[in-house]
Amino acid sequence: MEDTICSLCAQRKGNQAGQQIAFFAYMSKNVAIKTLSKYKTFVYDRLETNTGNGYDIKSGKFTAPESGHYVFHTSTTAYDKSYSIIEIVKNNKLVDVALADANDHNDRAAASTMTILSLAKGDTVLVRAGAYYSGHYLETSQYTRMSFSGFKLA
């Protein structure tokens, strides 16, 4: 019986990919709306966690180190009469969208996404500005943080 249980454990471990994969990156400074362009990739320049080395701090892209199901989260805040569409893109194809919209008032408006994707090894995921944006800036501060994170499900 014990041999059967150990055999089942070994089979289960063999069916799961070996490494843990997780990342958390955020913006260190506000993003001026005037610096955005249609479909410009957001590059989150502060990296707190990058287990598996999937997130590239230079390009803003996550590249799947191995195949599997992944969960991604974004958080974006528009500040004082500002707004932006935020797009989550897999292999150059739009898969999710959010709108941070403080266009008609002086205050913060936050938007977030949680997106579950099936990725093959080498697939890329990024966050970019959508076709519409306006105003002053997207905020990252002691009150709110623009971030991009993800992890592979076991």
pLDDT digits (tens, 9 = 90+) for 80-95: 999 999 999 999 999 9
Whole-angstrom Cα distance, residue 102 to residue 134?
A: 10
The pTM of this model reads 0.86
| Cα separation values, 7 from 10, 18, 63, 106, 126, Å | 5, 18, 33, 62, 40
What average pLDDT does this structure show over 21-50?
Answer: 96
pLDDT score for 18: 67
| Cα separation values, 14 from 8, 9, 17, 68, 112, Å | 10, 9, 7, 14, 35
Q: Is the pLDDT of residue 5 over 80?
A: no
- CATH architecture of the region 19-152: Sandwich (2.60)
- The residue type found at 126 is L
What average pLDDT does this structure show over 106-119?
Answer: 94
Instruction: Give the count of beta carbons closer than 10 Å to the beta carbon of residue 64.
Output: 22
